[in-house]
């Protein structure tokens, strides 16, 4: 019986000495494995980055809620209760949810003895993240402003420029109906659009004023990924109904852009996985055909070995071990390659690669390549072990 | 050499009524007909005969590589055909050393690795292998070629390595198919003397197929295989 140590030594030696013949197969498998691990490891990372950073997605992950009572005269105005907001925030797949008033049109603002009509919205501290906005100057409204109902204001980029000129807004005081407000920041971002002409006040501060009946009847819900949008949108109406009157609830989801993103990503993923599958199938086929050729070319060797007392099982084991050495060796090469790729991608995306995820995928790939090699090598090995000795020895 | 003293102990190989036919297409070629043979320890037997008469076939059957059509074969007191595949492989590992007609060595291996294979299969411990390999190579005068790639040896050297490989396991039966076919006369003579030395000192038997009368001359018994029949040659053809 063949000892494992001898078996491994002989097989690795054989694979290495076969040289060029196996190089192509080894490279194909290595590249396939590297691609698979890199894509699998970085896939979530890339998706997260897209969802978080790419406002080019058109805010497709934001669900907008409101009430439509104005189109039904005589009905009682509705607003979102805090229990509703909490329940929505606790929903699986929800990143943040922001409560805000509807737009208050053209509140008169006094600045340097002149009145300006300015659109205003009352918002909470989650608004910025939810809508993908960021401070260009100064700061954004925070929890303290909300809790203290301070008289502070964040202005849209365009409004700030019109009133005060570029870069001079922070620290200015102006009055809305005799109350003085301080500009603490200027907000911008790709998603700002018409909000660039708005002034944002803390929700509570605005609600306190009572006039113009600003109610918190807007709820913006940002989902974690585009895959979460559908289930979240499906869950929301029930949640609202469970916590408060939900008559005339209106929900806007950017289904169009969402579908487009999903389609693009789906195709990209499909393409990547197809090419990986193709590489692996080709790798498996490569092992199979390489081993078949090898068995045919080494007919005489097989005959000699059997003549000197090798059992069928020894021959079988030897060819399986060679196949395994080839598959595992190539996959290990692929893991090394993937490490480089992942490290490179990580530094390109500016995030630390998730190494535990990488390790788990690498482990799986090694297992899989071992299985692939054994499966692909099985038939050639069986043929070798079944070979008739005398035919093999007479073979020239 | 005379082996009359051995005959009392019973043969290590006893063949009775062996028949072998090959079927190729519609024809049946009867290669061996009613072959009887007894081989005793210390025997050195030459089998001669024209090409294509079945000498290699006989060796394959003796080496448990081929089943005959009919007949009985007992080897070291056991029924050879009742052993089963695995049992026959075990017999080949432990008791039989082969030298084939040509292309005996493994490609892409060194001389050392070639001799290591029989030891690996018969489970010899790694630390014992080197000594056995060196000893076997010494017998054929090639111990200085230990790490040499096998395919870079001359034809004669390759055949000597094959002989060393057949000996490395110290088999009780050596089967050699024209082992000196590719050697010059002097080398062939030398190798046959090695064989003779081993056979007489190791309680070994050897059956050698040859066309060369000088090889037959070293043997104590010579058989002719003709028309499928194995007959003792009374007149040991002495080389001219
Ligand atoms: N598998 C086979 N099928 C059909 N015929 C075969 C087969 N193997 C051998 N033969 C035939 O059997 C005969 C004996 O072959 P064998 O190789 O035993 O001869 P040999 O005496 O060793 O010849 P040589 O001296 O040339 O080596 C030959 O005629 C050969 O053609
Ligand atoms: Mg022959």
**In terms of pLDDT, which residue wins out, B49 or A59?**
B49
Q: Which of A14, A17, A19, A309 to mutate to test the interface with B (most CBs of B within 10 A)?
A: A309
What count of other Cβ atoms lies within 10 Å of the Cβ of residue B42?
21
- In eight-state DSSP terms, residue A226 is H
**In terms of pLDDT, which residue wins out, A19 or A266?**
A266
Which of A220, A254, A288 is the last residue in one of the domains?
Answer: A254
Q: How far is CA A65 from CA A70, A78, A249, A280, B52, in A?
A: 15, 12, 7, 47, 96
**In terms of pLDDT, which residue wins out, A22 or A9?**
A9
Q: How far is CA B153 from CA A348, B107, B149, in A?
A: 56, 12, 7
User: How far is Cα B122 from Cα A310, in angstroms, rounded to an integer?
Assistant: 8
Residue in B98, B107, B165 nearest the CB of A301: B107
In chain A, residues 330-389 whose CB comes closer than 8 Å to chain B: 389
Give a yes or no: residue A91 inside a domain.
yes
pLDDT bucket at A107, cuts 50 / 70 / 90: low
Instruction: Assess contact for B106 and A301: CB atoms under 8 A.
Output: yes
Q: Mean pLDDT throughout B62-77?
A: 92
Q: Is residue B235 packed enough to be buried (19+ CB in 10 Å), middle (13-18) or exposed (0-12)?
A: exposed
Q: Indicate whether A71 and A39 sit together in one domain.
A: no
Q: Indicate whether A40 and A118 sit together in one domain.
A: no
Query: Above 50 in pLDDT, residue A374?
Result: yes
User: How far is Cα B239 from Cα B217, in angstroms, rounded to an integer?
Assistant: 8
In chain A, residues 303-322 whose CB comes closer than 8 Å to chain B: 304-312, 314
- Lowest mean pLDDT of A136-140, A254-258, A379-383, name the range: A254-258
User: How far is Cα A236 from Cα A221, in angstroms, rounded to an integer?
Assistant: 10
State residue A100's pLDDT score: 93
- For strands A114-123 and B205-209, give the pairing: unpaired
pLDDT bucket at A356, cuts 50 / 70 / 90: confident
Which of A219, A254, A289 is the last residue in one of the domains?
Answer: A254
By C-alpha distance, which of A69, A67, A61, A64 is closest to A80? Answer: A67
A&B contacts, CB < 8 Å: 65
* Helical axes A20-53 vs A355-386, angle rounded to 10°: 150
Q: Indicate whether A378 and A357 sit together in one domain.
A: yes
C-alpha distance across the termini of chain B, in Å = 21
State residue A53's pLDDT score: 54
Q: Mean pLDDT throughout B19-28?
A: 90
Q: Is B210 in the pocket of ligand 1 (CB under 6 A)?
A: no
Q: Indicate whether A307 and A327 sit together in one domain.
A: yes
State residue A6's pLDDT score: 87
What count of other Cβ atoms lies within 10 Å of the Cβ of residue A116?
16
Query: Above 60 in pLDDT, residue A113?
Result: yes
User: How far is Cα B44 from Cα B39, in angstroms, rounded to an integer?
Assistant: 9
By C-alpha distance, which of A348, A386, A356, A376 is closest to A40? Answer: A356
Instruction: Assess contact for B210 and B49: CB atoms under 8 A.
Output: no
SS3 A196: helix
Instruction: Assess contact for A132 and A59: CB atoms under 8 A.
Output: yes
Q: Mean pLDDT throughout A154-174?
A: 87
Q: Mean pLDDT throughout B29-53?
A: 92
Q: Indicate whether A34 and A129 sit together in one domain.
A: no
Q: How far is CA A200 from CA A115, A125, A216, A341, B35, in A?
A: 18, 11, 14, 44, 111
Quote the domain boundaries for residue A328: 4-52+261-393
- Lowest mean pLDDT of A109-118, B16-25, B187-196, name the range: A109-118
pLDDT bucket at A396, cuts 50 / 70 / 90: low
Q: Indicate whether A179 and A321 sit together in one domain.
A: no
Query: Above 50 in pLDDT, residue A246?
Result: yes
Q: Mean pLDDT throughout B21-46?
A: 91
By C-alpha distance, which of B206, B167, B231 is closest to B63? Answer: B206
Q: Indicate whether A41 and A67 sit together in one domain.
A: no
- Dist. CA B228 → ligand 2 center (Å): 14
Q: How far is CA A100 from CA A66, A76, A194, B200, in A?
A: 10, 19, 16, 108
Give a yes or no: residue A81 inside a domain.
yes
Percent of chain A with pLDDT over 70: 91
Could you tell me the pTM of the whole model? 0.71
Query: Above 60 in pLDDT, residue B240?
Result: no
C-alpha distance across the termini of chain A, in Å = 28
Q: Is B52 in the pocket of ligand 1 (CB under 6 A)?
A: yes
Query: Above 50 in pLDDT, residue A309?
Result: yes
Give a yes or no: residue A57 inside a domain.
no
Give a yes or no: residue A242 inside a domain.
yes
Query: Above 70 in pLDDT, residue B64?
Result: yes
Give residue for tokens 């992942």: A342
The nearest alpha carbon in chain B to A310 belongs to B121
Which of A254, A285, A310 is the last residue in one of the domains?
Answer: A254
State residue B187's pLDDT score: 80
Q: Indicate whether A282 and A347 sit together in one domain.
A: yes
User: How far is Cα A188 from Cα A132, in angstroms, rounded to an integer?
Assistant: 9
Q: Indicate whether A84 and A233 sit together in one domain.
A: yes
Q: Indicate whether A106 and A22 sit together in one domain.
A: no
């Amino acid at each position: 019986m063949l000892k494992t140590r001898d078996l491994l030594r002989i097989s690795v030696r054989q694979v290495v000495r076969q040289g060029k013949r196996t190089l192509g197969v080894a490279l194909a498998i290595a590249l396939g494995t590297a691609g698979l691990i890199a894509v699998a490891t970085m896939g979530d990372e890339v998706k997260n980055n897209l969802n978080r950073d790419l406002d080019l997605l058109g805010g497709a992950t934001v669900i907008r809620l409101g009430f439509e009572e104005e189109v039904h005269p005589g009905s009682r105005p509705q607003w979102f209760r805090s229990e509703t907001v909490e329940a929505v925030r606790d929903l699986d797949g929800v990143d943040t949810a922001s409560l805000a008033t509807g737009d208050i049109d053209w509140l008169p603002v006094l600045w340097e003895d002149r009145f300006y009509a300015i659109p205003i919205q009352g918002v909470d501290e989650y608004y910025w993240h939810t809508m993908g906005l960021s401070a260009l100057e100064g700061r954004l409204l925070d929890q303290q402003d909300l809790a203290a109902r301070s008289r502070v204001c964040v202005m849209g980029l365009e409004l700030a420029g019109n009133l005060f000129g570029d870069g001079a807004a922070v620290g200015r005081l102006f009055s809305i109906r005799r109350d003085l407000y301080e500009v603490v920041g200027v907000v911008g971002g790709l998603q700002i659009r018409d909000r660039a002409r708005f002034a944002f006040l803390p929700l509570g501060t605005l609600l306190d004023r009572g006039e113009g009946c600003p109610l918190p009847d807007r709820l913006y819900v940002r989902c974690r990924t585009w895959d979460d949008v559908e289930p979240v949108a499906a869950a929301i109406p029930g949640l609202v109904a469970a916590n408060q009157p939900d008559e005339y609830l209106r929900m806007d989801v950017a289904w169009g852009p969402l579908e487009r993103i999903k389609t693009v990503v789906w195709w990209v993923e499909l393409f990547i996985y197809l090419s990986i599958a193709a590489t692996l199938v080709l790798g498996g086929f490569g092992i199979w055909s390489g081993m078949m050729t090898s068995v045919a070319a080494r007919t005489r060797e097989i005959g000699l070995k059997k003549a000197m007392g090798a059992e069928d099982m020894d021959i079988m084991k030897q060819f399986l071990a060679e196949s395994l050495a080839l598959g595992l060796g190539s996959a290990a090469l692929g893991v090394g390659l993937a490490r480089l790729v992942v490290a490179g991608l990580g530094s390109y995306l500016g995030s630390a690669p998730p190494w535990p995820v990488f390790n788990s995928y690498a482990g799986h790939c090694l297992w899989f390549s071992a299985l692939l090699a054994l499966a692909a090598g099985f038939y050639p090995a069986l043929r070798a072990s079944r070979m008739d000795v005398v035919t093999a020895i007479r073979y020239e | 050499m005379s082996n009359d003293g051995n005959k009392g102990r019973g043969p290590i190989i006893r063949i009775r009524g062996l028949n072998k036919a090959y079927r190729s297409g519609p024809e049946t070629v009867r290669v061996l007909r009613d072959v009887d043979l007894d081989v005793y320890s210390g025997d050195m037997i030459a089998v001669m005969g024209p090409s294509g008469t079945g000498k290699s076939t006989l060796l394959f059957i003796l080496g448990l590589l081929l089943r005959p059509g009919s007949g009985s074969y007992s080897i070291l007191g056991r029924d050879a055909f009742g052993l089963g595949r695995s049992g026959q492989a075990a017999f080949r590992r432990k008791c039989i050393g082969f030298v084939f007609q040509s292309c005996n060595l493994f490609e892409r291996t060194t001389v050392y690795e070639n001799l290591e294979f029989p030891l690996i299969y018969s489970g010899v411990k790694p630390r014992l292998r080197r000594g056995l390999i060196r000893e076997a190579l010494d017998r054929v005068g090639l111990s200085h070629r230990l790490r040499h790639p096998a395919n870079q040896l001359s034809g004669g050297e390759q055949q000597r390595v094959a002989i060393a490989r057949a000996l490395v396991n110290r088999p009780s039966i050596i089967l050699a198919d024209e082992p000196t076919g590719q050697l010059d006369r002097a080398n062939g003579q030398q190798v046959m003397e090695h064989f003779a030395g081993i056979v007489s000192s190791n309680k070994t038997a050897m059956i050698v197929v040859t066309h060369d009368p000088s090889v037959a001359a070293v043997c104590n018994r010579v058989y002719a295989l003709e028309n499928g029949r194995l007959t003792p040659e009374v007149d040991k053809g002495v080389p001219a």
